[in-house]
Copies of this chain bind each other. A is one copy, B any other.
Amino acid sequence: MQSSNQELYDRICNMILSGELKPGERLSETKLAQELGVSRTPVREVLRILDREGLIRLYPKRFLKVAEYSEEDLQELGMMRIALETLSVRLALFYGSKADLLELRRTADRIVEAQRAGDAKLHSQSDAAFHVGLARLSRNSFLIRYMEDLTLLIRFIIMTQEYPEEVPSEEKLYEHHAVIDAMLEADEEKAVRILQHHLIDFYHLEGKYPESLFR
């Protein structure tokens, strides 16, 4: 949707990401339209998109609500991310220039800054920017688009469902950098290994699946 109601999409999306609309909350097209000062027609179209992206759930002829996800759902998403991000790294090494990687490294700087400042929103934004940025280097338009969808969904889940706050160690803070550095050294396997460990740890996948999955 690079549509003209992109703006409307952004507004509703932000209402969901910001927690103004809470997971499980039942919505009404009519009320939403009134609140947003537009008619139901464009709202409906945006809601169909958000349903496909997984941020809301449409129960046709019944009702719609903000989507709810479990811890297991987040783990499944993490699994997808491992598979696709491994591909990203390998393709990025094939296509990406040193300059690309250095720019990505600066994005990683911003993640650390946000983390240190305790700004959860900025952190999740920067993190998404890093991972989508990495995907962009793959020159695979489908990979890029799907990584965008995945990161949006993951951001939504992490921002809204509240999980026990985890204090990241100094080492974990710089794992994004470590991935990039391994890539700068052209050590593909090392980069992949660090990335996968980062994701396995982040999504608590340790011990959930056999070792062979993470290769």
Q: Interface segment, A29-37, A41-49, A125-133, A171-179?
A: A41-49
A19 to B213, CA, bound (A): 39
* A1 / chain B contacts, CB cutoff of 8 Å: 48, 51-52, 58
Residue of B49, B76, B84, B189 near A140 (CB, 8 A) is B76
Determine the distance from Cα of A209 to Cα of B141 in the docked complex, in whole angstroms: 16
- A60-B2, A83-B86, A213-B94 in contact; A141/B76 too (CB < 8 A)? yes
Nearest CB to that of A87 among chain B residues? B83
Query: How many of chain A's residues have a CB under 8 angstroms from any CB in B?
Result: 39
Q: Is the CB of A4 within 8 A of B48?
A: no
Is A146 in the interface zone, CB < 8 Å from B? yes
Q: Nearest Cβ in chain B — how far from A5, in angstroms?
A: 8
Is A80 touching B213 in the complex (CB atoms < 8 A)? no
Q: A142, B80: Cβ atoms under 8 Å?
A: yes
Cross-interface CB contact of A90 among B51, B84, B143, B212, cutoff 8 Å? B212
Is A113 part of the binding interface, using a Cβ–Cβ cutoff of 8 Å? no
Are B45's CB and A77's CB within 8 A? no
Q: Which residues of B contact A61 (CB under 8 A)?
A: 4
A140 with B90: CB separation less than 8 A? no
Nearest chain-B residue to A215 (Cβ)?
B215
Known: A86-B83, A87-B83, A90-B213. Is A77-B4 also a contact (CB below 8 A)?
A: no
